Amino acid sequence: MRDYAVFLWRCFRLSFVGDWRYGAWMLTLTAIALLGLNAYCRQLVFGLATTGMTDQVSWGLYIANFTFLVGMAAAAVMLVIPVYIYRNKELHDLVIFGELAAVSFIIMCLLFVTVDLGRPDRMHHLFLRFNFPLSMLTWDVIVLNGYLLLNLHICGYLIYCAYRKREPRKALFVVPFVLIAIVWAVSIHTVTAFLYVGLGARPFWNSAIIAPRFLASAFAAGPAFIVLALQVIRRFTDYDVPSKALMTLRQIILVALTINVFLLMSEVFTEFYADTAHSASTHYLFFGIGENRALVPWIWTSLGMTAAALLILYLPLARSLRYLNIACVLIIIGVWIEKGMGLIVPAFIPTPIGEIVEYRPTINEILVCLGIWAAGILLFTISVRITIPVLSGRLTIDHPYATEPDTETESNGSPRATALAFERSTS
Amino acid sequence: MRIFDSSQSKCSHGECSSACSGPGPHRLGSTRRSFLRKGAAAIGGMAALVGALSPLRELDESDLGSVEKFIQKHYKEMDGEEMRQALERISREVEKRYDLRPDIRDVRPMDGVEFVYALNLSRCIGCRKCVYACVEENSQSREPEIQYIRVVEMPRGTLDIEKGNHHYDRPTVPDSEHYYMPIQCHQCAKPPCVKVCPVGATWQEPDGITVIDYDWCIGCRYCEAACPYWARRFNFAEPKIPKEDINPRMSYLSNRPRHKGVMEKCHFCLHRTRVGELPACLEVCPTGARKFGNVLDPRSEVSEILKTKRVFVLKEEAGTLPRFFYYFDERHPRSDGDREAAAPGREATA
């Protein structure tokens, strides 16, 4: 127990250590997070009137970001499936980064839901009177928190074992949880989709294709984020990230994005060919209704980005890592628009009784969103910052601070040994 | 290009890079410098945090809540004594805020009663008197404006509400080219809003009225997304109502003052209707377009309307079984004889 406290304290200390670029990055993120906190305090005082939401469009950026991030969190598992089901060797050492990303994303999800609440002071009512299983929101509370705990356990256990230089008892404490996490990752996404799909009042959401599309777009955007994160890790640390692993991820992204585009086309065809009265929201999204066309530039930007990314990925070009990076950025932004603004907001326009009121987020609302993003990325940076020296054997119970490679741990410091150390800790 | 590789931390103290080397004890100056630097960073960090939290100073006293309010149970779990205390607390709050002693009660449903509303579209002239009577009766927020009833001006020849105009502004109504359709909570028998609430803060009462415990709602607005009739309203800001406009006659589940961050909606004026009176929107209607009553009583006016008029519900396909019916007057009510005359074919085959 005492050892564990010391471990946490060392991790805390370590998160402050780095060169000026690391310091500047962390300082910037902290500053943005504090600005967000400030904006949220203003929202607490003056109510949700500080946002652009209205009775007509009662969910906005917060729920849009929440929806997108659930997908990002679920996608971490796309690293796990190749490793544990298809025995892919390249990705093996990188699984932990997927899990770390999942933890950060889920925490961001929970923050986004919390800031959307009118009465966060009454959160404990969830424990006192839980409308389960009728309300899909209660399902979401269970699956999101469960997924958070699962991933915290897997990462925490592996890292702590490496720190204690203990052999992790994989069969008992890792593999079963990883297998549960795979199913669970699909569930968090499906349940979140059902949150919307189950509402008969909103024809835009009331479509069976939403859940599969959620999964497809998440399995493109999530690994795209992981690719970018791995590129950063590769560039700025000595942790070994094989190019082959990135190419495997590229393939996953390619397949998922293709399926996503196919499902999107199916949906667009259904809406526009039949052209029933229920297509009003889709019309609004793609072409606007009369003078009201706030979302039109957004959705076409998103479609353009997705198309460009798909093109890059299908060309041999993307075997060059730089083009892969570009494609990943395009996918993340494209999916963020499509699944955030493009999925949540149009469902409210027009209202069920035909009124058209557009949604424009306020500065305060945007600041809160940026703050949560900064806090989440801060968390992810710290977790990666701690994980790398631990897994490469430079921070262990005997070596309180990351030691130099030229001491007795030299063999542990080299990239090869890093991989070996991780191999030890995970297999 | 190593941002945080090991060479940055030569000494065992982690954060001092080149100033000292090796795992031995620090030189005194270095320790003091590092201590001062750390202290300055910590103070700067705390100052930034305090600055970020500073808007909280403007929190209203009523926002902070009290232990009493925090531990107050859900409506359905309160016993008589607990309800009495809750009502007493609300009275005190109202008195403090609006300078009046309210007559607040917990009005329960009557046995053998199921309320139903019927609205005669041939008679409605779109004057919106019902909208404002409702605002006054239920002490709805004037700023930002909250109204439970929305009157839609519909072009003749369609029942599609998406073709209606919500913001018509004419010197006189009715306009001969249009008819008017007031929409409020339909008090569905299968309410989607109740189903989705994660904390059970909204439910259907035995007399068919869907109510909200304003002290239990967490303000997630899932019910607002689920309602096919756009009947629910959210308090995006603390409601502002002039003191003289507060209706002193209140009940726990209906028109007592709401706070920011919770939902509210039409409750068929249950503090009136459960003691035998009529809803405010009906009483004010100048044309008698609105009819209200107990559908379980076969002699009630609404029972008679459901039996004899050709009524319809809005968005029947939503499957929520509304208790709010619309009908048009028939210019020539058809007797049985008329019906036979209108269908000569049937007579021939008989």
Quick check: helix, strand or coil at residue A292? strand
Closest CA to A143 of A96, A84, A183: A183
Give the pLDDT of residue B342. Answer: 46
- Element at B105 (helix H, strand E): strand B103-105
CA B317 remoteness from chain centre: 23
- Element at A182 (helix H, strand E): helix A175-197
Using CB atoms, pick whichever of A19, A38, A59 lies closest to residue B4: A19
Give the pLDDT of residue A422. Answer: 44
Question: What is the bridge-based pairing of β-strands B324-327 and B115-120?
Answer: parallel
Cross-chain Cβ contact A136/B9 below 8 Å: no
Q: Mean pLDDT, to the nearest integer, of A316-344?
A: 90
Give the pLDDT of residue A405. Answer: 43
Interface residue of B1, B2, B6 to substitute, partner A, most A CBs within 10 Å? B6
CA A348 remoteness from chain centre: 25
Closest CA to A134 of A194, A188, A184: A194
Residues of B in contact with A413 (CB under 8 A): 6
CA dist B203 and B194 (Å) reads 5
For tokens 């049985």, what's the residue?
B336
Question: What is the bridge-based pairing of β-strands B324-327 and B178-183?
Answer: unpaired
In sequence order, what are the residues at sequence separation of 6 or more whose Cβ sits closer than 8 angstroms to the Cβ of residue A265? none
**A100 to A27, A41, A221, A418, B6: CA distances (angstroms):** 21, 29, 16, 18, 22
The encoded tokens of residue A246 equal 């990135």
The dihedral sign for the CA sequence B161, B163, B167, B170: negative
Using CB atoms, pick whichever of B6, B192, B260 lies closest to residue A403: B6
What residue type is B160 in one-letter code?
Answer: D
CA dist B279 and A18 (Å) reads 69
pLDDT beyond 50 at A161: yes
Q: Mean pLDDT, to the nearest integer, of A382-409?
A: 72
Helix axes A280-287, A243-274, angle to 10 degrees: 120
Q: Mean pLDDT, to the nearest integer, of A200-211?
A: 93
Domains and CATH numbers, chain A: 2-426 (1.20.1630.10)
Give the pLDDT of residue A61. Answer: 96
Radius of gyration, alpha carbons of chain B = 31
Are residues A197 and A226 in contact, defined by beta-carbon separation less than 8 angstroms? no
Q: What ipTM score was computed for the predicted complex, to two decimals?
A: 0.89
Cross-chain Cβ contact B318/A200 below 8 Å: yes
Residues of A in contact with B2 (CB under 8 A): 19, 236-238
Instruction: Give me the phi and psi of B186, to 5 degrees please.
Output: -90, 5
Using CB atoms, pick whichever of A59, A128, A236 lies closest to residue B225: A59
What residue type is A275 in one-letter code?
Answer: D
CA dist B210 and B191 (Å) reads 8
CA dist A7 and B144 (Å) reads 52
Give the pLDDT of residue B336. Answer: 52
Give the pLDDT of residue B333. Answer: 53
pLDDT beyond 70 at A420: no
Cross-chain Cβ contact A129/B54 below 8 Å: no
Closest CA to A381 of A241, A229, A221, A228: A229
Domain B128-275 -> CATH class? alpha beta
Domain range list for chain B: 128-275
Q: What is the pLDDT of residues A354-363, one digit of tens each?
A: 999 999 999 9
Give the pLDDT of residue B334. Answer: 52
Give the pLDDT of residue A409. Answer: 35
Question: What is the bridge-based pairing of β-strands B324-327 and B311-312?
Answer: antiparallel
Task: Count the Cβ atoms, other than its own, within 10 Å of residue B64.
Answer: 10
Cross-chain Cβ contact A48/B234 below 8 Å: yes
Residues of A in contact with B221 (CB under 8 A): 58-59, 116, 118
What band does A392 get if pLDDT is binned at 50, 70 and 90?
confident
In sequence order, what are the residues at sequence separation of 6 or more whose Cβ sits closer than 8 angstroms to the Cβ of residue B73? B82
The encoded tokens of residue B108 equal 């329960």
Interface residue of A29, A123, A129, A241 to substitute, partner B, most B CBs within 10 Å? A129
Q: What is the pLDDT of residues A274-296, one digit of tens each?
A: 988 889 999 999 999 999 999 99
10-residue mean pLDDT profile of chain B (350 residues): values are 45 41 49 84 90 86 76 94 95 93 95 97 96 97 96 94 94 94 97 96 97 96 97 96 95 95 97 97 97 96 95 94 94 53 42
